[in-house]
Amino acid sequence: MASEIELRVQAYIAAQHDSDLDVLVEAASTAAPALLEVVKALGPYLTSEDEKLRESGVSLLGTIVARVPPAQMNRHATRTMLAFFCQKLEDTETVIPALKAIHTLTALPTFTAEDAVATCEALFSHVKTKAHVQSTRFVVYSIIDSCLAKHRDAFKQMGDTFIRGYIALAEGEKDPRNLILSFALVRIIILEFDFERFVDSLFDISFCYFPITFTPPPDDPYGISADDLKNALRLCLSSTYRFGPLAIPLFLEKITAGSPATKRETLHTMAVCWPVYGPRLAQEVGKQVWDTYKIEIFQPIDSDTQNLALTAVKALVTTLYGADGSEAKIAGLVQSITEECLRILREPEKSQAKPASQVVSALTETTLPVAKTVTKATVTHLMSLFLDPDEATIRPAILTALAALCTTIRKIYEEPGRDYKSERLLDDYKDQLLGAFTVELKNPPSSGAAIDGLHQMVLIPELLSNEELGFIVHNLNELLQTENANVEGDVRTALLGLFLATAKIAPQHIEQTTLPVLFSLLPDGQASSSDATKAARALSTLRTLCVAPVLFETLVIRLLARLELCEDALYALAMLNALQHVLSTKIAAAHPDVSKYAGSLVPKLYDLACGKPLYGDVRLLQASGSIVTLVARTLTAEKQLALANGVCQLLLNGDAKPLGLRSPAPKSPLNPSSSKIERNSVILLSAAMVPLRSDVAVPVPDTPALLLQLVSWCQQGETDDIQQAAAMDVVASIINKHVDDFNSLLNNTLPEILSLFSDPDVSSSAATALGRICGVGSLTKQNHAIIRILSTQRHFNSILPRILSGAESSADPVPRNASLIALTTMVRHVPSSIYRSDLPKMMPLLIRGLDLPDLNLRLNVIETLQTAAKDSSLDSASFSGRAPALAETMLRTAALSDPVALPVRIAALRYLGTLATLGTYEKLHPAKSKVIKDLGRILDDSKRSVRHEAVDAREKWYSLTA
């Protein structure tokens, strides 16, 4: 056996084959004597005078030790190996493999405290870290870290020897990977050891790296970021209060003379260190530190530095006064800072007032005694200014400062562990604040700040009583009643936000006082021109406020009553849109009360649609249908079936009883003799059918017959686009949820649909329907559609080849144009990622599609080209080669005079500008002069949006040079 081991050792040393190493490891793993045999076999190499052989021998032994099972390494073997490897640290050729082997031994359970001490003594005596590369130094730090983790008490007994030795090892380290570990070891030494005689040395080997300016290289395999280093150094510098007297002067120097990045890092670090450095040092240097901080607050180089300076002020004050101080003891630094800020706030309209207010707010966020002192002084000072008749012009600035203070206090009590009920910070001043804010509500310059202040007070828990909330609502109602054009924009948004905040706490005040005011602004019948603005503003407010269940119920009742009396289509549409908006908000917030309106709101909408001639306006039916769909989505399968059955009975069978309607049932929209207005009711059929769940049966006796009837109905000449879309939504929903193999159905019916492309009467409708098959449309998760992965991709790949073939092979213009319509419709309804690879094949047809008479189809093509042009994965040559033809087509489209063509004109001009950025100058130059000349004519267009796009496009073509 011994001869075999010797042969394997010789073979591995000579050729470094893994198979030889595996045999040696297996032999050493069988028993302790076998490991001894391996060592004996290595003997000549371990003591060889040849440096390379000696290094190879030690490296091989270390590798074997690392791979031997830990259980095989008994106490004697561990001690013997450690002694050997420590001895090899004296040999410069074997120090690296010896360190790696020692690191392996430190993880063994048989590695004792005595071994740890011997290891560190050997490291301190024989390893000169500055002479080694990063990876070797990292092993040294790892050995010390491993020993400290398991045998800390033994190192403590070493006393100064260990600390002195580690300082010598760590001094001058520069590699980020090693510094992360070094900072952690220094922190352990500071926290666990008696280091008083080494404060300066430990500080020097830590602070010399401040501030960290490390930027990791691209694709750094070690994943060490600058923030990792900064955090490790902050923890190190904040390990002991003894660093404070050494660090603070250096910190202040770096803030004063450092770069913006240095200032930010210093302020951040100081904020972390103050709690450790303690109140005694804060008392000694507080004034000097504040003088430095305030420069960064009142004369900031950027907002980030200012915010960090405010954070550092909070840390300084919190450290200085502590959380257990009393209000009577608050003097010194806080008093000085407060007085300085209040002197500035004597002129709250000046630019320095905002940072002064921020400092006051920062002090309020420190400790409760400081907060009480600062709040009292600030409110008293600002209220005295507010009540001074000579200072009436600066009231907006005063209220802004008071609102900022209230905002800070509100944020304080959003933090865990803080309870306003036990601290009552604003109780002594809330009457003054309420008075000031409400008095200035109707003063336009002050209204924004007043609303903000009231909003913050409402959000502070337990501050205001129910009566005080009612008082605020009463004043807001008065503002609504006297509202004029000045209360717009941000102020109006803030007003609605305050109403919402109050509604969440005390909705009864909104219900009892605010809603009647708003409903009084809504006319019962037709809205006159003088009332239209008030009604629009009231509806806008109602749809924001009435999200809470109790308020929404009132909204539904009141608006339905007005809808019944309304004879103005635009007014009715505005009310329906308001209901739809609130319902959408409630569904997004998962309110459970939405479903109950299936029995009240939904039947009433059908009643209005059936009984009022006003609903001949298709926009009202669409808005009503959207509301029905929103409610139906929230219903259980059983309730959905009941609703769908009632709607089918009403609109297909002429029976109004299942829905309980007072109005007579209309003629079925699918009846061939129905008028256009009667046909529009298919929108209400679609609204109830599309959101049905897949387990809800279609409530008709013969579902295939209904599908055929709807498809046939869509092909009739009297059916318009809106009616077709609603009917096809029903068809798509039924097929999606009740046809098991849609792919087979599509493949079977596709030839029949393509055959319709040759029929001049239905080719356009068939092409549009085929193009929409790939689109999502109404088939969404919200409508409980069954959505399969990559289904759109499969449908597109199945349809596109047939469309391209039909467009290229047919000489008849009817099917050729139908193919163009199908293609342009299809690209509009699918993501660009689906057709990206097919775009070169589609490009000739898309360009031909730009000459289609339908403006919407032209818009589809232009937007598709625009999206493709922005795709960096596509070859721009496919565009630039056709640039002259595309440019001419875009110019022709941009020059259209039809007012309806405005969207497509804007899109054409935008794409014309994009063309100038595609391809080479040689390709684009032939079109340049004509493009610039024709764009010059468009610059005189009557539409500002067209002129704007023309200017942008011409500038891009002007910049096109060789």
Return the structure tokens found at 165: 């030795």
| Distance from C-alpha of 582 to C-alpha of 540, rounded to nearest angstrom | 10
pLDDT (tens digit, 9 = 90+) per residue, 566-605? 888 888 999 999 999 999 999 999 999 999 998 889 999 9
Q: Is the CA virtual torsion 922, 868, 823, 886 positive or negative?
A: negative
pLDDT (tens digit, 9 = 90+) per residue, 647-706? 898 888 888 888 888 888 888 888 878 888 888 888 999 999 999 988 888 888 888 888
Distances (CA, A) of 492 to 433, 446, 476, 542, 547: 21, 13, 11, 13, 18
Q: What is the mean pLDDT of residues 598-625?
A: 88
211 upstream amide cis, omega within 30 of 0: yes
Q: Is the CA virtual torsion 125, 130, 131, 137 positive or negative?
A: positive
Burial 821-858 (b: 16+ CB within 10 A, else e): bbbbbbbbbbebebbeeebeebbebbebbbebebbebb
Of 464-468, 701-705, 816-820, the poorest mean pLDDT is in 816-820
Cβ–Cβ < 8 Å for 158, 117:
yes
Predicted confidence at residue 671, as pLDDT, reads 83
Q: What is the mean pLDDT of residues 203-231?
A: 84
Cβ–Cβ < 8 Å for 177, 222:
yes
> Does the structure show a pLDDT above 50 at 485?
no
Cβ-in-10-Å burial (0-12, 13-18, 19+) of 479 comes to middle
pLDDT (tens digit, 9 = 90+) per residue, 371-389? 999 999 999 999 999 998 8
Predicted confidence at residue 884, as pLDDT, reads 76
Predicted confidence at residue 668, as pLDDT, reads 84
How far does CA 246 lie from the centroid of its chain? 42
- Which range has highest mean pLDDT (128-137, 743-752, 798-807)? 128-137
The answer for residues whose C-beta is within 8 angstroms of residue 842's C-beta and 6 or more apart is 800, 804, 823, 827, 835
Q: What is the mean pLDDT of residues 898-922?
A: 80
Of 64-68, 85-89, 541-545, 641-645, the poorest mean pLDDT is in 64-68
| Distance from C-alpha of 857 to C-alpha of 771, rounded to nearest angstrom | 11
| Distance from C-alpha of 434 to C-alpha of 946, rounded to nearest angstrom | 51
Helices in 107-225 by DSSP H: which ranges?
Answer: 113-126, 134-150, 152-158, 160-170, 176-192, 199-207
DSSP string, 601-657: HHHHHHHHHHH-GGGGSHHHHHHHHHHHHHHHHTS-HHHHHHHHHHHHHHHHS---T
- Which range has highest mean pLDDT (409-423, 634-648, 727-741, 765-779)? 634-648
Distances (CA, A) of 867 to 509, 911, 935: 51, 10, 23
| Distance from C-alpha of 777 to C-alpha of 228, rounded to nearest angstrom | 48
- 917 phi and psi, to 5 degrees? -100, 0
Q: What is the mean pLDDT of residues 829-840?
A: 70
> Does the structure show a pLDDT above 70 at 881?
no
**Stated pTM of the model:** 0.70
